[in-house]
């Protein structure tokens, strides 16, 4: 069976120092992908760069900050970006296809299924799907964090063998190697902890929006789908093949031990929460360490307007998000029974199940602190 890989390339890897695309870099990455394609791999490319490609041609002196300016730059840049990739792949006699997605395309099961079927057909025809966020209509600050999370969602959707997030730095270090000569690269990560997020920090580059933190979050999403992830640098011919072979210049995140069923992947990473449930310490422990369902007695309050069957976030009294689950209650019903025993809750409201969230419809997203 052919190896299926998802490669993500960010704006900083594609943009020229003057603005616009660096044609040599586009061709280099196309060469690397084509080499894997010719070796029989099924290759999907998730690319950023539409805003970076379009802001100079549209007339902006630097990457725009306002939403409507970003969307205008993306409208110009998306065509330029796709043309550059198509020309680069044509040199290898490979056909490339454009797919533009937004988060609601994943939140809707039917829409994600349609996207999946389209991608499967393209791969069957030996076409390379080039996937980007639909920046001209997307809101909330062009939301996927330099497409890092998008690449992880795509990898889970197509059940990829591996996700390869390419960046300017050779993986995750104990400190910023550009500032600290004693920084050590972390070659392999089995479990993502709070300490890793602290090491990663924030801040992307001047032409991109995704820093190392967003890449670790993408690895966490991919791990939830059982997909191993590589975060590192591809700068010389053959580097991408080396990364796929397990010999890349970067950090590998294990995926085989973390796979969630498809329904829980949807709940944890693809759904859009419709509200929030705040719980007490006892309920927090029951959810995180005891594998139990959430009962009305552990609820402090409900926030937002949600209905039975909606996905809600669950947070502790300090506001820290613990996970997501499918609510069996409407928000008004939960408000009416918050803190009550199961027997008393049954007297007050008519619900099909007494559990607020059953453990089979719960996904923990809490990041544990390092020991």
299 plus 246 within the same structural domain: no
Whether 352 is covered by a domain: the verdict is yes
Which band of pLDDT confidence, cut at 50, 70 and 90, is reported for residue 210?
Answer: very low
| Residue 39 or 105, more confident | 39
97 plus 46 within the same structural domain: yes
CA atoms within 13 A on the CB side of 301: 5
Boundary residue ending a domain (228, 262, 296): 262
Please name the residues in contact with 340: beta carbons below 8 A apart, sequence gap of 6 or more: 296, 297, 348
229 plus 289 within the same structural domain: no
Which band of pLDDT confidence, cut at 50, 70 and 90, is reported for residue 67?
Answer: confident
CB atoms < 10 A from the CB of 57, how many? 15
115 plus 255 within the same structural domain: yes
pLDDT at 204: 42
Chain position carrying tokens 């973390």: 258
208 plus 301 within the same structural domain: no
219 plus 78 within the same structural domain: yes
233 plus 286 within the same structural domain: no
118 plus 98 within the same structural domain: yes
Residue pLDDT, tens place only, 315-335: 999 999 999 999 999 999 999
162 plus 201 within the same structural domain: yes
Q: Please give the helix or strand (H or E) that residue 9 lies within, else none.
A: strand 4-9
Whether 369 is covered by a domain: the verdict is no
Q: Is the pLDDT of residue 262 over 80?
A: no
Total number of domains in the chain: 2
Which band of pLDDT confidence, cut at 50, 70 and 90, is reported for residue 272?
Answer: confident
194 plus 76 within the same structural domain: yes
Residue pLDDT, tens place only, 170-192: 999 888 777 888 889 999 998 88
Counting beta carbons within 10 angstroms of the beta carbon of residue 43, is it exposed (0 to 12), middle (13 to 18) or buried (19 or more)? buried
Total-model pTM: 0.83
Buried/exposed code over 119-145 (b: 16+ C-beta within 10 A; e: otherwise): beebbeeebbbbbbbbbbebeeebebb
Highest mean pLDDT, choosing among 48-52, 118-122, 135-139: 118-122
Q: Is the pLDDT of residue 213 over 90?
A: no
CB 287 within 8 A of CB 234: no
CB 296 within 8 A of CB 354: yes
Whether 340 is covered by a domain: the verdict is yes
| Residue 57 or 121, more confident | 121
Whether 268 is covered by a domain: the verdict is no
- Report the mean per-residue pLDDT for the chain: 88
Q: If we measure between CA atoms, which residue out of 95, 45, 54, 57 comes closest to residue 78?
A: 54
| Residue 347 or 20, more confident | 347
83 plus 193 within the same structural domain: yes
Structure tokens at 149: 């999370």
Boundary residue ending a domain (262, 293, 322): 262
Whether 221 is covered by a domain: the verdict is yes
Please name the residues in contact with 101: beta carbons below 8 A apart, sequence gap of 6 or more: 115, 131, 132, 133, 134, 150, 154
Boundary residue ending a domain (262, 296, 324): 262
Q: Is the pLDDT of residue 111 over 90?
A: no
pLDDT at 368: 57
Which band of pLDDT confidence, cut at 50, 70 and 90, is reported for residue 32?
Answer: very high
CA distance 156 to 133: 16
| CATH assignment of the domain containing 145 | 3.40.1160.10
Question: By residue range, what is the domain housing residue 330?
Answer: 273-364
Which band of pLDDT confidence, cut at 50, 70 and 90, is reported for residue 235?
Answer: very high
Whether 177 is covered by a domain: the verdict is yes
| CATH assignment of the domain containing 349 | 2.30.130.10
Cα dist from 364 to 140, 255, 280, 281, 292, whole Å: 24, 16, 16, 15, 12
pLDDT at 208: 37
Q: If we measure between CA atoms, which residue out of 23, 29, 26 comes closest to residue 43?
A: 29
175 plus 119 within the same structural domain: yes
pLDDT at 145: 57
């Amino acid at each position: 069976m052919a190896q299926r890989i998802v490669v993500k390339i960010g704006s900083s890897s594609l943009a020229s120092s003057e603005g616009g695309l660096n044609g040599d870099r586009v061709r280099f990455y196309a060469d690397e992908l084509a080499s894997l394609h010719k070796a029989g791999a099924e290759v999907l490319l998730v690319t950023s760069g539409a805003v970076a490609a379009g802001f100079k041609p549209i007339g902006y002196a630097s990457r725009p900050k306002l939403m409507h300016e970003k969307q205008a730059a993306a409208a110009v840049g998306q065509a330029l970006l796709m043309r550059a990739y198509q020309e680069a792949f044509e040199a290898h006699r490979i056909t490339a296809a454009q797919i533009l997605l937004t988060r609601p395309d994943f939140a809707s099961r039917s829409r994600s299924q349609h996207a999946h079927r389209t991608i499967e057909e393209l791969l069957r025809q030996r076409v390379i799907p080039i996937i980007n966020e639909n920046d001209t209509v997307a809101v909330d600050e062009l939301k996927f964090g330099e497409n890092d999370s998008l690449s992880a969602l795509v990898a889970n959707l197509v059940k990829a063998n591996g996700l390869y997030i390419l960046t300017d730095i050779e993986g995750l270090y104990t400190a910023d190697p550009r500032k600290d000569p004693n920084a050590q690269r972390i070659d392999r990560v089995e479990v993502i902890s709070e300490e890793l997020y602290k090491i990663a920090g924030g801040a992307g580059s001047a032409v991109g929006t995704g820093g190392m933190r967003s890449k670790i979050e993408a690895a966490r999403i991919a791990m939830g789908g059982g997909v191993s992830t590589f975060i590192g640098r591809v700068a010389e011919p053959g580097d991408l093949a080396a990364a796929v072979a397990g010999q890349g210049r970067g950090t590998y995140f294990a995926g085989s031990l973390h796979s969630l069923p498809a329904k829980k992947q949807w709940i944890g990473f693809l759904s859009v929460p419709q509200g929030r449930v705040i719980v007490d310490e006892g309920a927090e422990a029951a959810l995180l360490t005891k594998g139990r369902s959430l009962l009305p007695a552990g609820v402090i309050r409900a926030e937002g307007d949600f209905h039975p069957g909606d996905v809600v976030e669950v947070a502790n009294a300090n506001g820290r998000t613990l996970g997501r689950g499918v609510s069996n209650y409407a928000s008004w019903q939960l408000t009416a029974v918050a803190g009550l025993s199961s027997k008393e809750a049954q007297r007050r409201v008519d619900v099909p199940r007494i559990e607020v969230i059953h453990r089979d419809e719960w996904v923990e997203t809490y990041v544990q602190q390092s020991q």
